[in-house]
A and B are shown apart, each in its own frame.
Chain A
Amino acid sequence: TISMIVIDQTGHVVAGTSTNGARHKIPGRVGDSPIPGAGAYADSEVGAAVATGDGDVMMRFLPALLAVEGLRNGQGPSEAAERQIKRITKYYPTFAGGIVVATKDGRHGAACNGMAEFPYSVADGSDWQGEVKVYTVKCV
């Protein structure tokens, strides 16, 4: 799955996903990616969040929506992501997944579970030398 957050110079925040889902799924199965609030959520007043991972589990917790609400309540991007991961691991300790969060002014962070570390890619206008940077976070 690719999940992406785009914020333009004026602070217009959008987010989206594209995926072919889980392998050997039962036909008709849809994961979290196209579900608003699960795969991605955006609010230009606050920022955006996107998710990837075990969609059958993650979509039950709407992590993208709640991470954005976390930003609205003053959490930083990394904290907002971690809180959503912890909500899921309480019920599914071994689930595999990651959440990336960005604020409307361009700060970003991520959190993950079920893997050693989780990489995400950033193209940042305030620090642009023509190359996309890869950040990695250790999982919760």
Chain B
Amino acid sequence: GGLPLVVTTWRFLNATLQAYQSLTVGEFDPIDALVEGCSVCEREQCDGTVGYGGSPDETGETTLDAMLMDGTTMDIGAVAALREVKHAAAVAKYVLRNTRHTMLAGSQATDFALQMGFRRETLQTDESRAMWEQWKANHCQPNFWRVSNAHCVCVLVGFSYLGAQTILSQIAQKDRSIIENVIPSPSMSCGPYEPVSANAVRSNPPEDASDPDRTDFSFGRYNHD
């Protein structure tokens, strides 16, 4: 390899080309070239994993995360769970250049973006709404709540969803700690969930947070950052 160099995860050719041309033809400084490159994917919604209209949360909302790091000054600008503003990488640049902070998060990051002149707009699209509706219709499966193994056995032995649910809630009344971490059961019901009484919940073994059930979603088999 040699310089100048742009390296990007996945096959995001347009974003890589935009950053490279900004750096060379446009003579942008590297941070501006980086933002130019990331912004291409925010506009093109690369793989559905970047930008608006992708990865709806349990309420159907899309939020954005972005971060820029300058390896010469070691300065960083980042936004996390940015709401209702499409240009996350550009907002992160304002955090980098206009504040002495490193990261702003949530609705207050949105307020900062509006102050910097960005526009508030929904990040939900027809596609993300449909994805969310389909997920709700499928008993909110899969999701990120912990389920104890004992409960899965009931489902496996052929109880219908409702059957298992009824049995489990009867058993849970007697000794909740055996069955659930939260109820209703997240492996067959939507929330809202409530924790089984705190003292009854034993410490969780180092569950493989990335076991196939968690990550084996329809999109390219993985659902990740």
Contact = CB atoms under 8 A, between A and B. Distances in A.
Contacts of B199: none
Contact of A96 (B103, B105, B224): B224
A34 B79 contact: yes
A17 B65 contact: yes
Interface stretch (B33-41, B114-122, B151-159, B163-171): B33-41
Contacts of A14: 30-31, 34, 68-71
Contacts of A2: 8-10, 12, 15, 37-38, 41, 46, 49-50
Question: Contact size class for B?
Answer: 35 or more
A33 B7 contact: no
Nearest to A31: B225
A80 B30 CA distance: 24
Contact of B102 (A1, A29, A36): A36
Given A21-B225, A132-B17, A123 B6 contact: yes
Interface of B: 1-13, 15-17, 19-20, 23-24, 29-31, 33-35, 37-39, 41-42, 46, 49-52, 54-59, 61-72, 74, 76, 78-81, 88-89, 92, 102-103, 105-106, 123, 131-132, 135, 140, 142-145, 206, 208-212, 215, 217, 219, 221-225
Interface of A: 1-9, 11-36, 39-45, 48, 50-58, 91-98, 100, 102-103, 105-108, 114-115, 119-128, 132, 134
